[in-house]
């Protein structure tokens, strides 16, 4: 609840924003021509007047599409948050945007003829395929919210990683898609509006029809079932509609961040409790939010030599808003989570499994050091070629070391928050480091490695400070912590999108680093990383008892005599340190931090202590193999280890999900 004297109800909020948007629009029209001519240009532009033409073919369609897209995303957001029962769920959660993005990239590179059918259809097909994969993965579990979110997350990461890889090799060809990916609302005619509005009307009507069954999802699974509702079909319909709406919006204007998450969240916070209320006010607020942002942006970005895409800007502006909202969120740590623990099987002898994994790690290390391609094809290093190890050893150590760090950090954060979506990346620490380093790349060209490390650490510390500042009062409540992280990550994503969309040739360097490569590591750093990782893995072991107890919930943990606030702060500090170190070495795409703990659990490392050990080993193996594969697959071009890890790990993860 918002705790302010004049309560901001959804209608009041919408009124404020519509006045704001109207004022901005009026100013913009006034600026261009007399107000009446501006309105005239909407219907009958004077063909000889450049200003009127711009208004008719550019400004008016842009305003319209902003309103439509915002409404569509707001509606989709409500549907998804309702079905997935997760305040972090957004229209992009199910991989629609990244699927559409990947579809466009693949079509551009391999099947340009597909564009004859229209770009919207390519994007829709890509988004649809990604969503289909998510449904396929979670079908056997009756589309249970947790499984859907997990499957969506991993499909997102997978499509994102593939997209990054394509971008790394074809940046010149794909530069136009970068603008699309950052969500530019700029229009050059009315065809986008013509495509979008009928689809949104259909979507809105369907949502109204589904209102009653969807409202039942407010109850928990058992109660809902007792009302005789097929949960599976309601979820399928709800998600399907949300995805369809998202795909339509995304295919026309590109990826618009945050509106789909923020509009439903704000509406709910300001008192729209019932689903019917939210279905009305969230689209309205979404439309107004997007339109106001876009109008503001048009007003202030005119003089810049680059284009500031609206989609990325909403994300950037939304981040502080979310940070402001977090302390005001009435979150409580006991919302019904479907039995994530029950479905994990437990290995009878984790120690034996760990021994096997260690053996695999040694084999992988030997392979990574001794085999590889050279000028004459594949070779096993003879004694005369051992000088090559000068290049391979640092990469091996750095890869394995950062794998361990991220895996341990991931295990800690997932146990700490009892949320399987959590990862060091979601916490925002990688994002903070990355923001600082991107800044350094642009403003301090040619800075030394040491300077970069210093700047990156400062970024990580800043985010950690923010996390502590915003969360210490609530005793580091998991949901709030995650939301803080989501906000920082959104800020980072936005910054990255803006930087890349501008088409600055330096963007390539950013892409290379963001994909997570061990390329830049020298031997000293590598040894430090590896040793640090081992120390950290050992340091985390005494916390194992906390890790078993904390997921059981606050009351239980307190009952067992754990000082919750202190325990969380300590674990959080360790996570931050580990993430910062690993990010500085291999970039912020720490999918390993998400995947390794899960893979360890899928293998049967169930207890806190054994999961830590298992995850560390899995992380090390994953990164070692990923680094080696990355160097060999496209020789002489190199795929970054972080990317390959997410591709390899993601495939395994999907297989494991399917088996659940």
Among 31, 332, 348, 387, which residue interacts with another protein (rule: CB under 8 A)? Answer: 387
Q: Is 437 helix (H, G, I), strand (E, B) or coil?
A: helix
Judged by CB under 8 A, the stretch of 46-54, 148-156, 328-336, 357-365 that binds another protein is 46-54
Among 106, 370, 528, 534, which residue interacts with another protein (rule: CB under 8 A)? Answer: 528
Cβ neighbours for 460, distance < 8 A, ≥ 6 positions apart: 429, 432, 433, 436, 576, 579, 580, 583
Per-residue burial over 201-234, b if 16 or more Cβ lie within 10 Å, else e, is eebbebbeebeebbebbeeebeebeeeebebeeb
523 binds another protein (CB under 8 A): yes
CB 612 within 8 A of CB 130: no
Instruction: Return the residue matching tokens 């709800």.
Output: 238
Closest CA to 335 of 215, 418, 254, 231: 418
Cβ neighbours for 112, distance < 8 A, ≥ 6 positions apart: none
Q: Which is nearer to another protein, 330 or 382 (CB)?
A: 382
Longest dimension (CA), the chain: 83
Restricted to residues 420-479, the positions that interact with another protein (CB under 8 A) are: 441, 445-446, 449, 453-454
Among 42, 106, 175, 216, which residue interacts with another protein (rule: CB under 8 A)? Answer: 175
330 binds another protein (CB under 8 A): no
Radius of gyration of the chain measured on its C-alpha atoms? 25
Among 148, 179, 210, 616, which residue interacts with another protein (rule: CB under 8 A)? Answer: 179
609 binds another protein (CB under 8 A): no
Q: Is 519 helix (H, G, I), strand (E, B) or coil?
A: coil
Q: Which is nearer to another protein, 272 or 529 (CB)?
A: 529
Q: Between 1 and 40, how does the x/- string for binding to another protein read (CB under 8 A)?
A: ----------------------------------------
119 binds another protein (CB under 8 A): yes
∠ CA 105-111-115 to the nearest 5 degrees?
Answer: 80
Closest CA to 421 of 505, 492, 481: 481
508 binds another protein (CB under 8 A): yes
CB 214 within 8 A of CB 79: yes
Judged by CB under 8 A, the stretch of 105-113, 130-138, 196-204, 255-263 that binds another protein is 105-113
Restricted to residues 559-588, the positions that interact with another protein (CB under 8 A) are: 581
Could you tell me the two tokens for 244?
Answer: 């369809």
Q: Is 378 helix (H, G, I), strand (E, B) or coil?
A: strand
Judged by CB under 8 A, the stretch of 113-121, 140-148, 408-416, 617-625 that binds another protein is 113-121
Q: Which is nearer to another protein, 322 or 500 (CB)?
A: 500
81 binds another protein (CB under 8 A): no
Among 356, 389, 552, 651, which residue interacts with another protein (rule: CB under 8 A)? Answer: 389
Instruction: Return the residue matching tokens 């500085």.
Output: 584
Restricted to residues 486-505, the positions that interact with another protein (CB under 8 A) are: 501-505
For residue 173, the tally of other CB atoms under 10 A from its CB is 13
CB 76 within 8 A of CB 136: no
300 binds another protein (CB under 8 A): no
506 binds another protein (CB under 8 A): yes
Restricted to residues 153-172, the positions that interact with another protein (CB under 8 A) are: 168-170, 172
220 binds another protein (CB under 8 A): no
Q: Which is nearer to another protein, 40 or 221 (CB)?
A: 40
601 binds another protein (CB under 8 A): no
Q: Is 365 helix (H, G, I), strand (E, B) or coil?
A: helix
CA distance 268 to 272: 5
Q: Which is nearer to another protein, 122 or 262 (CB)?
A: 122
Among 375, 542, 561, 659, which residue interacts with another protein (rule: CB under 8 A)? Answer: 375
Among 10, 13, 38, 56, which residue interacts with another protein (rule: CB under 8 A)? Answer: 56
Q: Which is nearer to another protein, 528 or 544 (CB)?
A: 528
- 38 vs 45, 99, 398, CA distance in Å? 9, 39, 60
377 binds another protein (CB under 8 A): no
């Amino acid at each position: 609840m918002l705790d302010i004297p004049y309560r901001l109800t959804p209608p009041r909020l919408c009124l404020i924003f519509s006045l704001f948007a109207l004022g901005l629009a009026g100013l913009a029209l006034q600026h261009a021509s007399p107000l009446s001519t501006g309105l005239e240009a909407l219907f009958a532009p004077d063909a000889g007047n450049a200003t009127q033409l711009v208004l008719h073919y550019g400004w008016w369609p842009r305003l319209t599409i902003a309103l439509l897209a915002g409404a569509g995303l707001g509606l989709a957001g409500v549907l998804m948050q309702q079905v997935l029962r997760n305040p972090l769920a957004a229209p992009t959660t199910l991989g629609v945007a990244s699927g559409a993005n990947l579809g466009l990239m693949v079509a551009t590179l391999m099947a340009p003829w597909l564009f004859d059918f229209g770009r919207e259809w390519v994007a829709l097909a890509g988004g649809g395929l990604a969503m289909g994969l998510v449904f396929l993965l979670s079908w056997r579990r009756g589309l249970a919210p947790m499984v859907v979110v997990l499957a969506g997350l991993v499909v997102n990461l997978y499509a994102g990683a593939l997209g990054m890889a394509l971008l790394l090799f074809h940046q010149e060809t794909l530069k136009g898609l970068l603008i699309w990916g950052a969500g530019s609302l700029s229009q050059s005619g009315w065809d986008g509006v013509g495509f979008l509005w009928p689809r949104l009307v259909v979507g809105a009507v369907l949502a109204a029809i589904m209102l009653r069954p969807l409202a039942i999802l407010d109850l928990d699974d058992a109660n809902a079932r007792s009302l005789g509702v097929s949960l599976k079909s309601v979820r399928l319909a709800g998600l399907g509609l949300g995805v369809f709406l998202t795909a339509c919006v995304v295919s026309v204007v590109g990826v618009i961040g945050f509106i789909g998450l923020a509009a439903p969240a704000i509406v709910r916070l300001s008192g729209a409790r019932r689903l019917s209320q939210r279905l009305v006010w969230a689209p309205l607020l979404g439309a107004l939010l997007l339109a106001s942002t876009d109008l503001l942006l048009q007003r202030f970005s005119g003089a810049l030599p680059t284009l500031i895409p609206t989609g990325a800007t909403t994300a950037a502006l939304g981040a502080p808003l979310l940070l402001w909202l977090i302390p005001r969120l009435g979150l409580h740590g006991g919302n019904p989570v479907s039995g994530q623990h029950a479905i994990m099987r437990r290995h009878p002898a984790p120690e034996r499994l760990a021994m096997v994994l260690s053996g695999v790690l040694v084999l992988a290390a030997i392979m990574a050091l001794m085999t590889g391609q050279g000028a004459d094809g594949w070779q096993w290093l003879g004694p005369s070629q051992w000088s090559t190890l000068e290049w391979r050893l640092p990469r091996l150590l750095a890869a394995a070391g950062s794998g361990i760090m991220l895996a341990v950090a991931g295990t800690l954060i997932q146990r700490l928050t009892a949320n399987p979506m959590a990862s060091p990346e979601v916490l925002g620490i990688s994002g903070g480091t990355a923001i600082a380093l991107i800044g350094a790349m642009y403003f301090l060209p040619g800075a030394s490695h040491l300077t970069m490390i210093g700047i990156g650490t400062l970024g990580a510390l800043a985010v950690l400070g923010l996390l502590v500042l915003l969360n210490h009062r609530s005793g580091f409540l998991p949901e709030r912590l995650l939301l803080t992280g989501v906000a920082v990550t959104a800020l980072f994503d936005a910054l990255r999108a803006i930087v890349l969309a501008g088409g600055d040739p330096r963007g390539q360097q950013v892409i290379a680093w963001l994909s997570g490569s061990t390329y830049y590591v020298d031997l000293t750093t590598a040894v430090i990383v590896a040793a640090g990782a081992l120390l950290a893995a050992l340091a985390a072991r005494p916390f194992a008892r906390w890790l078993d107890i904390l997921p059981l919930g606050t009351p239980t943990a307190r009952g067992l005599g754990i000082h919750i606030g202190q325990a969380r702060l300590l674990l959080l500090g360790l996570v931050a340190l580990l993430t910062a170190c690993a990010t500085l070495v291999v970039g912020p795409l720490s999918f390993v931090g998400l995947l390794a703990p899960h893979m360890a659990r899928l293998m049967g490392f169930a207890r806190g202590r054994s999961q830590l050990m298992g995850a560390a080993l899995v992380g090390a193996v994953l990164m070692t193999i990923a680094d080696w594969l990355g160097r060999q697959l496209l020789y002489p071009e190199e795929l970054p280890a972080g990317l390959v890890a997410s591709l390899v790990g993601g495939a395994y993860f999907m297989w494991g999900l399917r088996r659940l």
